[in-house]
Structure 1
Amino acid sequence: MVSDTKIAIIGAGISGLLACKHLIEKGFRPVVFESRSCVGGVWAHQTVESTKLQTPKTYYQFSDFAWPPYVKTNFPDHNQVWQYIYAYSLHFDLIPTIKFNHKVESIDYSLPLDDEKICGWDEWGGNGGPFSVDGKWKMVVQHTLYPFEAPKVFEVDFVILCNGNYCDFPNVPQFPIGKGPEVFDGVAIHSMDYATMTTSNAVEFIKGKRVTVVGFQKSAIDIAVEVAKTNGVQHPCTMVFKTVHWTVPEHLNELNFRNLKRFSELMIHKPHEGFFLWFLAILLYPMVTSSSLVISSNSYHELS
């Protein structure tokens, strides 16, 4: 049975594809708006050539769609990851639901009620359910290949945001006036800008230059590796960072990831847990905050 409820999904990355697939199974006919020309999110556009999956593939797969047998390595490269995601969208016939090159410019909730009544709602939507019986979501969508055309307005009952943590907005630190990239005698770019270059353009961009990479997270290490391979010892790459993080080889990473994942489960409260697990989660909870700080640190790259 197909539901007449209109649902829009923003983003055709992993989360958007999963949401779309499960909605179809529930009898809905969702529409996915993707600002670019293919599925995959950051795996399609924001990875450098040397990027690999940093968790074992058995921990990074769809529960209903296994990795193909020809992918032998435990840490596939970014091309293999994207091909896997694309194969998932083909297998479950999700492509027809996606409007590629459609960027959502704004979302507004249109409700034929006054503000006083809305403020009196005790539950979201006024009824406790996901769909309001009174209002609609109005989405202004622009076709990215035809930017001079007037944007279209779509009216739906529910919107699912799957545009990711990064969403094409680089996290660049704020510098005091007169002490930022504008006074740097060279070129300063973000890792996101570097990742959008083709392989040949990236090589030409860094070839024969002194490069300083600021940061020590995954993107910083990947770019530093590429710089070192391109320039060798003649123009060594310099990394500048505040906090030292241990890096481990691939053959140890799978074991470490499995153990850390099991350990992290002890930090989260669970339904119907006993007193000991409840107390242990309270004691270990500060580690959740410290881990988040490490994960969310960003990289900023200066190329001279």
Structure 2
Amino acid sequence: MGFAAFNNLPAEIRSMVWVYALPEPRVYEILDTPFSTLKTPASTGLMFSSGSHTAPPVLAAVCRESRAFVLRRYQPLTLSDTIKYIDPSRDIILLQPYLLIKRLLRTLHSLAEVDFMKRDLRQVAFGTSYGFSTGIYHPILSGKVSKNNMKTLVKKLARFSKLGKVLFVVHEEFKCVVSKPHRAESQLELQLLSSSFVKSQEDDQSRTNWNFRRNEIQYYPLNFEEEVEDDEPDIEGDDVELNRKPTNDDWRRFKRRFLKAVHSTLMRELQEKPRQEHLPFLIEGASIIWRYEAS
């Protein structure tokens, strides 16, 4: 179908096509800058973990209508001079556990000072750590953390009026793909290339630029745990536990602990309300794969 025929379609159908052509949701890791306070504007008090700029999706370059469609959804978020175009209704903001409690709360506070994020953000993700003996762990559940911090966390999240999901990232993988090297077509070419090609490969590896391509998100409960375990190579003893991915049971235990901590903290103020009204958003778990390609 040519573009002339496409323009004759009803606007609703054209809009459905543009929605289908949008890229998958992306994950953006955000943290606070050194010496930032609650009074520091988000533009200088927050930063992306990646300092590279992110343009709107390439769909914006198709035609005037697609550009208008994309720019209605994707808005520029400028943090510490880095600009990334974000769709707050689909993309995910990730806060890693090294922020601990004070920095985590400050980051959420500053993010809610950005009007379009406060108004339209649908998903926030919290990174976790994992150990064989400790299971899935997040600092907010530390025994040393006061109940006031949990109460403050819920209040900070409630500032995002459309927040529908809090995602705990219980596993992350980073996969880097290098383009296949040139294959020699003849024995003579192989001999000519043998030494110089190997040397150039070594040099290239040391200065490779890795470009982010996409995220893959797998939600818990996983429905293929047994298949993953069967496909894993034979690894000895301690290495098995070191590389083990959290199971569905691990996630269920963590979710129970978190919800119990939330409800026990809020029960004093919300005793008359049913339990399901305490949290206006869902609590889910996920595994994230970050895919990079060498340039």
TM bucket normalised to smaller: under 0.3
User: Scaled by the length of structure 2, what TM-score is found?
Assistant: 0.22
User: Scaled by the length of structure 1, what TM-score is found?
Assistant: 0.22
Return the structure number with greater helix share.
Answer: 2
